[in-house]
Structure 1
Amino acid sequence: MNFWDELLEDEVALSLNKEEVKQIEKELGASLPKKYVEKLEEQNGGDLAFDSVNVDFENTWSDEEDGLHLPLYRFNTLTVEEFENGLSMLKEWGLTGKMIVFGEGEGSYFWYFDFDNNPNEPQIWCLDISDETTLLVAESFDQLLENLVRRKGENEVELSRDDVFADYPTMDEIREIIEGDDEDERLVAYRMWLTRCEDLGGLVIELRQRVQSSNDEDELDSYAELLTEVLLNYTGEEFITYNQAIALFKEKEDVSDLDHVIGQLESNI
């Protein structure tokens, strides 16, 4: 089934601005979950085809008899302005740190990423302003996706992994895009490759070569950030050591300042 509510998707006017995404990540000192960004590349916020998240703890919204869950029906538009508004709202409730509000449910439930423990894999929290509590719901955005459901109507419909990634290209299609001339599509294809988690050694080799050969600041930033994400979250030092990656990034200092990814790698050595 669809991820977004088809009846309302035409109301979303703004497209995702990559420069604003970079600015938000720079201010956070963290990387937004790749699957979250990919969803907003499809549609920058709006109502979901789902209305709830299954949980395993008591809360003000549901009980064990009906099945424990919390409401989540909408993803916010991702812009610098919305990011800053979300920070202000969280601050009003005594919440500070590396956070970003990304969704809401039924007026009194606000969903946010918390990067304080891990700048590359935020925890998913829900602020329940009805009793002024914060609830840890998931350890990752992937886990949140797996627990999304629709409860309206007689039958609960769960979002399976196949539903989430039904529109992703095959590896053959990904490689065909990479061999093309469209740089924006190529970067998206590399992210799709990572999402499929296939041949990650080959992906590391590809990204390393792109970093080595790139003389465009924006392209270099994107490849370096993606390579760092792969190393920190998926492969470790299996295919390239952190020190080798750091040395590679420092070789490109005449093209772009990559201190932000160098710092991420150094903090894990």
Structure 2
Amino acid sequence: MLLTVDIGNTQTAMGLFEGEELVAHWVFTTRAQDTADEVRLSLIGQFKLNDIDISSCDDVVIASVVPALTECWASVARSITGREPIIVGPGIKTGLAMRYDNPAEIGADRVADAIAAIKLEGAPVVVVDLGTTTNIEVIDEKGRFMGGIIAPGMGTGADAMFTHAARLPQVDIVEPAHAIGTNTIDAMRSGIIFGEVARIDGLVRAIFDELGYEAPVIATGGFSGMITELSQTITRREPRLTLHGLRLVYEKNR
């Protein structure tokens, strides 16, 4: 089976594939200071929780935006499979045409999202990935990665208010009942959640204006469930889009 690993700044997502079928998936907190031994213990624990023999994993593909953890995970992958893992980055075949100024700058997760989105919807297509940052990826009608938008994510924005505004409390990201908050916590939640929806819808419409046509919009990432329900432009939610994209990258490189 194939293990796909998406190492993000806040969370690490893993998916175990048997062929094209995602048979198990896990998410845990990313800790940049982890050693290879700690990563291995976490991975073994996840397999045991799902009653899966870790020796059934015979290959690994990794996307990482945390350089300090990339080699840790690669070392663990080698110890489990006896093979070099595929690490998404320069030199890896993706089949994705680029119109980006410097393709080497594009995060591996953004590449995986784009590849999976094209597989699901064809081109053109737009991806909204809601995580530590809110990333919007744009693929034109010829299937080319045109670029996109990177903005602070909802959790990042909430943490910034708590950190930099002395009288504002830390709040859970929960949808408020009304846009007009009648207390500080609900007012903050309204700004965080309804503000994010308005930002995404406004940016997607601006993208459509620049393209000269509309396209399907796929949401993914930790906050995608809440935002998809409220958005007027998102047409589909695929919470594990990146993992499926990593599987597709693997198929092009083995």
**TM-score between the two structures when normalised by the length of structure 2:** 0.26
Q: Which has the higher strand share?
A: 2
TM-score (norm 1): 0.25
Structure with the larger RCO, 1 or 2 (CA within 8 Å, 6+ apart): 2
